[in-house]
Each structure stands twice: as structure tokens, then as C-alpha cells.
Amino acid sequence: MKIKSAEFVMSNSDVAKCPKNLMPEYAFIGRSNVGKSSLINMLTHRKSLAKTSGRPGKTQLINHFLINNEWFLVDLPGYGYAKVSKTTKKVFQKFITQYFDLREQLVCAFVLVDIRHDPQPIDLEFMQYLGEKAVPFCIIFTKADKLKPNAADRHVEAYRKVMLETWEEMPKHFVTSASKDIGKEDVLEYIDSLNQNMVTSPK
């Protein structure tokens, strides 16, 4: 799939105000500073569609981007370790769960994980939450350029072992690097395949 157009539609903290049409949505979420904005910019081939920042917790709203006038890419706030007040964190963590509880248009969530680190409890807990809610999700390993290929493979395998302690199988996963365009086509082709398999609903 080629991204021909990518446009910002809206930001808000109220799930009820998200776009009303039935276009499929794909949500991107991960721990703060995992490289989510950089990945979104890489996937859409835009330098600053999503705002990048060295400060964790920059994204604090539900951001909808319309892709090819066919589907929405949804940029969700990072969970955990964001340098915002406890009150602010409590609010946006609540609307994250409301998004997954209420958003019927959601086709798949992509949970971003920094490939350089051992499996983190907060990531595993979030994926457990998605599993309990029966939300389809995939794992996107980010920052693969920071490791040699063999090391990246070992980190993915370590994740697989931990996941298989509680899951029947490892969720579908992608290894990516925003700076090197690694994994871009794989992620986009997967989204395209899901869109093609869906029964289109009237807008």
C-alpha cells in the first residue's frame, strides 16, 4: 500500500467526539518515548505529521489522521512514565481505556515496544488488558537500527518466551526502525490486507 495522502483531522480527549463515520481505524500506542511519532511519520512518509519530542508524554490527546481517504491512523497517548501531573495522567489514561472500550471502528491496535529493552511489566500488563478486552493487536518493535540484527533477533525471541508463559502464541509482530525505514512496507501491507478483508460499510 502506498500512502498518497495523510491529513490531520482532529485531536480530543472525549471518545464521543471522535469521527462518526465507520472508516476502519488502526491505533498506535506504547510506553512514553518509544518512538511512536517517528514511526507514524515514517509510515506516512511525512516529516512532521505526528509531533516528535525528546520529552516523554508529549502526546496527551487522541489524534486522528485520515489516510488515503480510506482509513484512520490513531495516535494515542503513551502510557507510563510520562512527565505530566498525576491529575493529567489520570485523565488521559482514563480516555485511553474508554477508547478501547467504546470505539467500534477499531480494527487493530499496534503496541510499540523498544526492541533494545527486556520485556517490561507495563507493556505486558497493557497487552494483557487488550487481550482481556478482546481487542486485536500486534506488536511493533521500534528502534531496530540501534541493535545488530542478531541482537534484535535475540530480543524478539526473549519477548516470545515471556509472552508464551501466559499467551497461547506470540502475537503478530513487526521489527521497525523509523530512521532506516525498516518494517514500513510490512506494517502497511498488513493494514492493507485487513482493509481488503473487511466488508465495507456505508459511510
What are the backbone dihedrals phi and psi of residue 116, each rounded to the nearest 5 degrees, phi first? Answer: -75, -15
Question: pLDDT tens-digit profile of 109-119?
Answer: 999 999 999 99
Question: pLDDT tens-digit profile of 129-177?
Answer: 899 999 999 999 999 999 998 999 999 999 999 999 999 999 999 999 9
Domain 6-196 grouped into CATH 3.40.50.300: yes
Q: How confident is the model at residue 50, as a pLDDT?
A: 76
Helices marked H in 111-171: 121-132, 149-163
Structural domain boundaries in the chain: 6-196
Q: How confident is the model at residue 48, as a pLDDT?
A: 76
Please, what is the end-to-end C-alpha distance for the chain in angstroms? 22
3-state helix, strand, coil in the chain (%, to 5): 35, 25, 40
Q: Beta 71-75 vs 62-67: how paired, if at all?
A: antiparallel
Stated pTM of the model: 0.88
Say how many C-beta atoms besides its own lie within 10 A of residue 150's C-beta.
Answer: 8
Residue 7 CA to residue 80 CA, distance in Å, equals: 28
Q: How confident is the model at residue 82, as a pLDDT?
A: 47
Specify the DSSP element, H or E, that contains 6.
Answer: strand 6-12
Are 67 and 49 contacting, i.e. CB atoms less than 8 angstroms apart?
Answer: no
Question: pLDDT tens-digit profile of 22-78?
Answer: 999 999 999 888 999 999 999 999 887 876 544 444 457 899 999 999 999 999 988
Residue 176 CA to residue 181 CA, distance in Å, equals: 7
C-alpha cell, 159:
519477548
Are 28 and 40 contacting, i.e. CB atoms less than 8 angstroms apart?
Answer: yes
Least confident of 15-24, 90-99, 103-112: 90-99
Residue 146 CA to residue 50 CA, distance in Å, equals: 22
Q: Beta 173-175 vs 137-142: how paired, if at all?
A: parallel
Q: How many helices (H) and strands (E) does the chain have?
A: 5, 7
Check whether 94 has a pLDDT greater than 90: no
3 state SS of 27: strand
Sheet holding 106-114, edge to edge: 6-12, 62-67, 71-75, 25-30, 106-114, 137-142, 173-175
Instruction: Identify which has the larger pLDDT, 92 or 21.
Output: 21
